[in-house]
Amino acid sequence: MHVVVFTRSTPDTAARVEVDKNGSVTWGDAAAVVNPWDEYALEEAIVQAKNAGGKASVIAIGGEMHTEALKHALAMGLDEAIRIEDPALDSTDSVAYATAAAAAVQKLGDVDLVILGKESIDVATDQHNYQIARKLGWPMLSYVSKILAVDYNAKTIQVERLLEQGREVLTSRLPAVMSVMKDINEPRYPSFIGIRKASKATIPCWSLADLGVSLPAARTRTVRYMNLPAREGQVEMIEGTPEEQAAKLVDRLLEEKVL
Amino acid sequence: MTVFVWIETFKGQANPTSWEALGAGRMVADRLGVPLTALVFGENASAVAAEAGQYGADKVLVADDATLKDYRLEAYAALLTKLVQEYQPKAVLAVGTARGRELLAAAAADTDAGLLTEVTSLEVDGGVLKVVRPVYAGKVLSEAVGSADSTQFIALRGRAFKANTPNAAANPEIITVQPALAEDQLVTKVERFAEEVGKVNLADAAIIVSGGRAMANNPKEAPPGTPNPEVWKAQDGFENTLKPLADVLGAAIGASRAAVDAGYIPYAHQVGQTGKTVAPDLYIACGISGAIQHQAGMRTSKVIVAINKDPEAPIFKLAHYGLVGDLYKIVPALTAELKKRLGK
């Protein structure tokens, strides 16, 4: 049994992110951390591999900064980390990302399950998740909040998915690609020994030639980044007794026509 | 040549935000000078198709088949990909709901086309779609373009676009299409669906009332022997203080991460970075300090009201109206006032 997780480094969630005068996105000297959604995917990979007596690998696609996320994953307890980087690979182009990711899964061979976090907060999208499944030709089990049953010998899985209207129970064949929500588990903190081991690990870097894949042309392009427009006006503080506050607030909300 | 808009249905009813996508699609089709085609898959598709015509579609492609009864990505994506290959649309639009995002992403991957998601503004510039989308947890905006060399897939953020006024006299051309895959070619099966009834869907809600850590400051006493009185107090507050306000407003109930992590309310209600991103007309934050992770999920709300004991709470920097005080005094007063003024 072999499970693969994809992860990436993103700026610390509390960091102040802005566009500098050259038009680049910067977050000062704030640390890069593992993409917050990926912690649940990493935890689930460790649990699944342990339960099935299998192996859990983690892959990041992109530059040197993503080594941070890979080391965090190794420190948590993933067995193996790989980084994929190539000058021809723009990791913000989701179809290119998914094509390279699918090729990496095929290169590893005998993978039963690919697990991803619900989305990447830097590029603010989850599209690469579903696109990896399509490039592999595997079923996609998205927004999973619980694995109800899994049998790696019979190659079957049953999951609960969290959708807008409620919870769906879906059965599927393995191998499959799965994206997980926050309530699937409680991610562990890296142990001291884990951190020491991870800091010494050498992480292999694969190129597109190593993957033996050529990429489709990019069909989207980022033109520029912009800072948020300054918020108009100040907050209006409403004072008085709770009853007076309530009455004044309702006046304002009726004027705003939002009721 | 055409523009496609996928109409999402659930139990034979169109998701109302799909009409927003049809409104945006109408603009794109007019600018490109091509007809607008709605796609309706699943049970009861004919009735929804007629509605799609009223909301602006010139044509409707309808697939009503047992394999499409429950939404399943593999069945829906195979059909969308087949239709994209056959009709070569200039653009495919849908609202980026859970299903809309994965469906568009799958068909874009199948056809090596470009996809832009979480789009909050859209224009057409010389055959190319130009969009604005928030990135880095909503801290920065990105302007991006598609390419006229392929179909341009666009997933819109819900409530960011306006639906057209329905025209009862519309008479769209209805074209029946067949599913791409038969049941024995599908490997996933929907076993059951547990609807969370009685709850307004956060994504569609025009008004959201949210509670935070201060929900635990409920003056009510937990029954003797309650193992965790703080959790009991907060849960009671969500049920008996926040819910009556939400009910009078027809609002959905949201929560901060702190409230969810403390076990006050299930995760499905979490608004913010590791929860849902919402953009209602009115967002009422009760006892929420307004950490940057929470702001990421609600900062584009039209009107923000903050109720908090601490006048220094960061939420007041984002709010339009601020009420300093105890939510357990202000919220019941607000509920009573609204009942009186709205005549409920």
Three-state secondary-structure class, residue B132: strand
Q: Do B204 and A131 touch (CB under 8 A)?
A: no
- Taking CA–CA distances from B196, the nearest residue in chain A reads A166
Rounded to whole angstroms, how far apart are CA atoms A116 and B222? 40
- In terms of residue numbers, what domain contains A198? 2-211
Q: Do B10 and A165 touch (CB under 8 A)?
A: yes
Determine the pLDDT at residue B21. Answer: 98
Tell me the average pLDDT across A151-155: 97
Q: Is residue A234 part of a domain?
A: no
The beta-carbon neighbor of B134 closest among A16, A124, A127 is: A124
Contact A94, A42 (CB under 8 A): no
pLDDT tens-digit series, residues B218-263: 999 999 999 999 999 999 999 999 999 999 999 999 999 999 999 9
Structure tokens at A129: 């998740």
Tell me the average pLDDT across A229-252: 92
Nearest Cα of chain B lies from the Cα of A166 at a distance, in angstroms, of 4
pLDDT over 90 at B43, yes or no: no
Structure tokens at A7: 């992860």
B240 near A CB under 8 A: no
Chain B CB contacts of A250 under 8 Å are 334, 337-338, 341
Rounded to whole angstroms, how far apart are CA atoms A192 and A196? 6
Residue A85, φ and ψ in degrees, nearest 5: -145, 140
Determine the pLDDT at residue B199. Answer: 64
CATH number of the domain at B126, please: 3.40.50.620
Determine the pLDDT at residue B318. Answer: 93
Rounded to the nearest integer, the mean pLDDT of chain A is 95
Nearest Cα of chain A lies from the Cα of B29 at a distance, in angstroms, of 20
C-alpha distances out from residue A183 to A75, A117, A169, A188, Å = 22, 12, 15, 14
Determine the pLDDT at residue A70. Answer: 98
Rounded to whole angstroms, how far apart are CA atoms B255 and A183? 15
CATH number of the domain at B294, please: 3.40.50.1220
B28 near A CB under 8 A: no
Q: Is residue B237 part of a domain?
A: yes
Rounded to whole angstroms, how far apart are CA atoms A256 and A250? 10
Do both B172 and B33 map to the same domain?
yes
Q: Which residues pair with B145 in a beta bridge?
A: A221, B130
Determine the pLDDT at residue A99. Answer: 97
Do both B167 and B43 map to the same domain?
yes
Contacts of B25-30 with C-beta under 8 Å, sequence gap 24+, read: B25/B56, B25/B57, B25/B91, B25/B93, B26/B56, B26/B164, B27/B122, B27/B124, B28/B3, B28/B90, B28/B91, B28/B93, B28/B122, B28/B124, B28/B129, B29/B2, B29/B3, B29/B58
Contact A180, A40 (CB under 8 A): yes
Do both B162 and B269 map to the same domain?
no
pLDDT over 80 at A233, yes or no: no
Q: Which amino acid is at B157?
A: R
The beta-carbon neighbor of B333 closest among A140, A158, A246 is: A246
Choose the mutation target among B13, B90, B133, B140 for the interface with A, i.e. most A CBs under 10 Å.
B140
Choose the mutation target among B135, B261, B330 for the interface with A, i.e. most A CBs under 10 Å.
B135
Scanning the structure block, which residue is given the tokens 């918020």? Answer: A231
Number of domains in chain B: 2
Q: Do A183 and B267 touch (CB under 8 A)?
A: yes
The beta-carbon neighbor of A135 closest among B109, B135, B207 is: B109
Domain boundary among B151, B185, B219: B185
Supply the ipTM of this predicted assembly: 0.94
CA atoms within 13 A on the CB side of A215: 22
Tell me the average pLDDT across A34-59: 97
- In terms of residue numbers, what domain contains B214? 207-342
- Secondary structure (H, E, C), B255-304: ECHHHHHCCCCCHHHEECCCCECCCCCEEEEECCCCCHHHHHHHCCCCEE
- Taking CA–CA distances from A98, the nearest residue in chain B reads B109
Contact A191, A84 (CB under 8 A): no
Determine the pLDDT at residue A185. Answer: 97
Q: Is residue A235 part of a domain?
A: no
Q: Is residue A237 part of a domain?
A: no
Q: Is residue B337 part of a domain?
A: yes
Contact B166, B54 (CB under 8 A): yes
Do both B228 and B333 map to the same domain?
yes
Do both B148 and B237 map to the same domain?
no
Q: Is residue A70 part of a domain?
A: yes
How many other CB atoms are there within 10 angstroms of residue A125's CB atom? 22
B182 near A CB under 8 A: no
Chain length of chain A: 259
- Taking CA–CA distances from A222, the nearest residue in chain B reads B144
Q: Is residue B192 part of a domain?
A: no
Which pLDDT band, with edges at 50, 70 and 90, does A25 fall under?
very high
Domain boundary among B185, B218, B240: B185
Rounded to the nearest integer, the mean pLDDT of chain B is 95
Rounded to whole angstroms, how far apart are CA atoms B222 and B151? 59
Do both B287 and B154 map to the same domain?
no
Pairing mode, strands A80-84 and A156-163: unpaired
Q: Which residues pair with B95 in a beta bridge?
A: B156
Which of residues A164 and A47 earns the better pLDDT score?
A47
Q: Is residue B252 part of a domain?
A: yes
pLDDT over 60 at B197, yes or no: no
Q: Which of A196-205, B58-67, B88-97, B267-276 has the lowest mean pLDDT?
A: B267-276
DSSP A50-111: HHHT-EEEEEEESSGGGHHHHHHHHHHT-SEEEEE--TT--TTSHHHHHHHHHHHHHHH---
Q: Which amino acid is at B112?
A: D
Residue B239, φ and ψ in degrees, nearest 5: -75, -45
Q: Is residue B202 part of a domain?
A: no
Structure tokens at B320: 């339009």
- Taking CA–CA distances from B188, the nearest residue in chain A reads A172
Which pLDDT band, with edges at 50, 70 and 90, does A154 fall under?
very high
Q: Do B99 and A163 touch (CB under 8 A)?
A: yes
Choose the mutation target among A156, A219, A223, A226 for the interface with B, i.e. most B CBs under 10 Å.
A219
Which of residues B201 and B317 earns the better pLDDT score?
B317
Q: Do A227 and B141 touch (CB under 8 A)?
A: yes
Three-state secondary-structure class, residue A232: coil
> Which residues, including other chains, have CB under 8 Å from residue A230's CB and lie 6 or more apart?
none
Q: Taking the model in full, what pTM does it have? A: 0.93
Rounded to whole angstroms, how far apart are CA atoms B207 and B87? 39
Q: Do A256 and B303 touch (CB under 8 A)?
A: yes
Tell me the average pLDDT across B104-119: 97
Q: Is residue B194 part of a domain?
A: no
Q: Nearest Cα to A211, choosing from A110, A102, A130?
A: A102
Q: Is residue A257 part of a domain?
A: no
Nearest Cα of chain A lies from the Cα of B104 at a distance, in angstroms, of 8
pLDDT over 80 at B25, yes or no: yes
Determine the pLDDT at residue A15. Answer: 86
Q: Is residue A239 part of a domain?
A: no
Rounded to whole angstroms, how far apart are CA atoms A138 and A156? 13
Do both B50 and B166 map to the same domain?
yes
pLDDT over 80 at B196, yes or no: no
| Degrees, nearest 5: CA angle A211-A217-A223 | 120
Do both B142 and B240 map to the same domain?
no
Which pLDDT band, with edges at 50, 70 and 90, does A13 fall under?
confident
Burial B37-56 (b: 16+ CB within 10 A, else e): bbbbbbbebeebbbbbbbbb
Q: Nearest Cα to B136, choosing from A84, A9, A183?
A: A9
Q: Is residue B125 part of a domain?
A: yes
pLDDT tens-digit series, residues B127-159: 999 999 999 888 899 999 999 999 999 999 999
Q: Is residue B197 part of a domain?
A: no
Number of domains in chain A: 1
The beta-carbon neighbor of B135 closest among A122, A219, A231 is: A122
Q: Do B193 and A218 touch (CB under 8 A)?
A: no
Which pLDDT band, with edges at 50, 70 and 90, does A241 fall under?
very high
pLDDT tens-digit series, residues A82-127: 999 999 998 888 999 999 999 999 999 999 999 999 999 888 789 9
Q: Do A242 and B330 touch (CB under 8 A)?
A: yes
pLDDT > 70: percent of chain B: 99
Determine the pLDDT at residue B198. Answer: 54
Q: Is residue A148 part of a domain?
A: yes
Do both B76 and B35 map to the same domain?
yes
Q: Do B143 and A222 touch (CB under 8 A)?
A: yes
Rounded to whole angstroms, how far apart are CA atoms B281 and A257? 9
For B:53-92, CB contacts with A below 8 A are: 73-74, 77
Q: Is residue A229 part of a domain?
A: no
